[in-house]
Amino acid sequence: MDERLILMGVIGKPHGVRGLVRVNAYTEDPQALADYAPLTDKAGRKFTLAWVGENIAQLTEITPAGPRKITDRNAAERLTNTGLYAPRSALPQAEEDEFYLADLVGLAARDASGAEIGKVTAVHDYGAGTSLEITGSGTAMLIPFTKAAVPVVDVAAGHVVVEPPSETEAAETEVTP
């Protein structure tokens, strides 16, 4: 069973004084975020949420002593920018010829001839486009995740084919353990 945690949303700023928060959901249907409960943060705390308006939710922390509803602004403020994660196994199966970006991490990276050049160690998306971090032989490369630079993604076979643009090859950097 795959228990990698996938970022499903982020708690935003408080909304009002009674503990409500804005939540940025990364699910196709934002309302569906509540269906993945309990969601966890990086520290292992568990939360459920109930939508009360568009992108506004009432959070409840699941503690060993039982559920504890977040009811004041100060508690809500302390949760600002908290990521909400679900286990990869809770996500629906990807359609044929589709995949989750998180499934790319760990795949072998091969060049066009089939020779292994490293592994996908991270997927980055800073808003200007997704890129793959490929690490191998002590070097790391950032490859734009486009059809031209990554023409083949075969999750079932465990590899991607990478054809780095010439400026990417020149930008390789040494990685020190």
Q: 66-113, pLDDT tens digit by residue?
A: 999 999 999 999 999 999 999 988 988 888 878 888 899 999 999 999
Could you tell me if 25 and 51 are in contact, meaning their C-beta atoms sit under 8 angstroms apart? no
Q: Domains in the chain, please, with CATH?
A: 5-90 (2.40.30.60), 101-172 (2.30.30.240)
Could you tell me if 6 and 16 are in contact, meaning their C-beta atoms sit under 8 angstroms apart? no
pTM of the complete model beyond 0.85: no
Half-sphere exposure of 127 (CA within 13 A, CB side): 0
Tell me the chain's radius of gyration from C-alpha atoms: 20
Q: pLDDT for 136-152, tens place per residue?
A: 877 889 999 999 999 99
**CA-closest candidate to residue 86, choices 159, 175, 3:** 3
pLDDT confidence bin for 1, thresholds 50/70/90: very low
